[in-house]
Homo-oligomer: A and B are copies of this chain.
Amino acid sequence: MVAGVVGLGLMGGSLALELKELDFVKKVVGYDKNEKHKKEALELKLIEEAVDLDTIQKCDLIILAIPVEGIIETLKSFKNIKSDSTIIDLGSTKEKIVKSVPEKIRKNFVAAHPMTGTEKFGPKAAFKGLYKDKIVVVCDIEKSGEHQKNVAIRLFESIGMQIVYMEAAEHDRHAAYISHLPHAISYALANSVLGQEDPKSILILAAGGFKDMSRLAKSSPKMWSDIFKQNRENLLDSIDSFKKELKIAENLLKEENWEELRKWMEKATTLHDIL
């Protein structure tokens, strides 16, 4: 089959590299609305040919590796896809996407969210191995066609991913805690240091802990404000629950209740028995 990747950044570019190696994929073409990225992806040999969206529509396998708002728009623009084509999106939120897929192509569509990434973006950030041994959440799979389901499973398993099935709404609630809240926290931490009198003197002391906590604050503001928009209600809920926990710590500090503070910390350490 011919695979067409829309969006040639970290996620799409890295997947294109994997697609090229699969025995059931004959050719990998790609599209990016950013002309510079399209050229870079070709130069970096992420794709074999740069094409337009009309050509993408004729592919047997279409990957949408673009921001959520773009996925929704692109799905609506697909009027000429093959009857047996498989369209897989890699968006970070799922409920708004699955609700917006045009009925005519619903069977062609598989909603997926690979739980992987780095803080880097663009074609140059793409690398082989991004997906290996990672989780991919596949949502509302009963609404996809049998053939499309099988193509998606074959694809994800071939590149070494473990599939977890979930309802889109549940995925979005969970993703708020596991991914969107950590991003909001990381941006807030970075801004709170930048807001101090002499951030440079503070940052000279930065070791592994702070670097880990602030790494997500390197992520693309364009992409992440879009994700926050899509998952606004769940993110607000998660911020609320996080704030309550921080308030507990703050109150115990104010009360100088060291015994209870230690217990609160001990509860937190049990996370790693599950993780």
Chain A residues in the interface with B (C-beta under 8 A): 115-118, 134-135, 137, 164, 166, 170-171, 174-175, 177-179, 181-196, 199-219, 221-222, 224-226, 228-229, 232, 235-236, 238-239, 241-246, 248-250, 253-254, 256, 258, 261-272, 274-275
Interface SS of A by simple majority: helix
With contact pairs A177-B193, A253-B235 given, residues A246 and B184 touching in the complex (Cβ less than 8 Å): yes
With contact pairs A135-B204, A193-B271 given, residues A245 and B188 touching in the complex (Cβ less than 8 Å): yes
- Establish whether residues B115 and A206, one from each chain, have CB atoms under 8 Å apart when the complex forms: yes
With contact pairs A174-B205, A196-B241 given, residues A215 and B217 touching in the complex (Cβ less than 8 Å): no
Chain B: which residue is nearest A194 at the CB level?
Answer: B271
- Establish whether residues B261 and A228, one from each chain, have CB atoms under 8 Å apart when the complex forms: yes
> Min CB distance, A242 to chain B, in Å?
4
Q: Report the copy number of this chain in the oligomer.
A: 2
- Establish whether residues B184 and A268, one from each chain, have CB atoms under 8 Å apart when the complex forms: no
Chain B: which residue is nearest A212 at the CB level?
Answer: B212
- Establish whether residues B117 and A245, one from each chain, have CB atoms under 8 Å apart when the complex forms: no
**When the two chains form the complex, which single residue of B195, B202, B224, B249 contacts A265, counting CB atoms closer than 8 Å?**
B224
A162–B179 Cα gap in the complex (Å)?
35
- Residues in B neighbouring A192, C-beta threshold 8 A: 177, 181, 238, 241-242, 244-245
A76–B199 Cα gap in the complex (Å)?
35
A215–B190 Cα gap in the complex (Å)?
18
With contact pairs A203-B275, A246-B188 given, residues A221 and B177 touching in the complex (Cβ less than 8 Å): no
With contact pairs A208-B117, A211-B275, A246-B188 given, residues A267 and B203 touching in the complex (Cβ less than 8 Å): no
- Residues in B neighbouring A270, C-beta threshold 8 A: 194
- Residues in B neighbouring A208, C-beta threshold 8 A: 116-118
8 more CB-based (< 8 A) A-B contacts, given A170-B201, A214-B275: A177-B196, A184-B246, A186-B268, A191-B271, A214-B271, A214-B272, A224-B265, A239-B246
- Residues in B neighbouring A258, C-beta threshold 8 A: 225-226, 228-229
A262–B204 Cα gap in the complex (Å)?
27
With contact pairs A207-B179, A246-B243, A266-B221 given, residues A213 and B185 touching in the complex (Cβ less than 8 Å): yes
- Establish whether residues B178 and A210, one from each chain, have CB atoms under 8 Å apart when the complex forms: yes
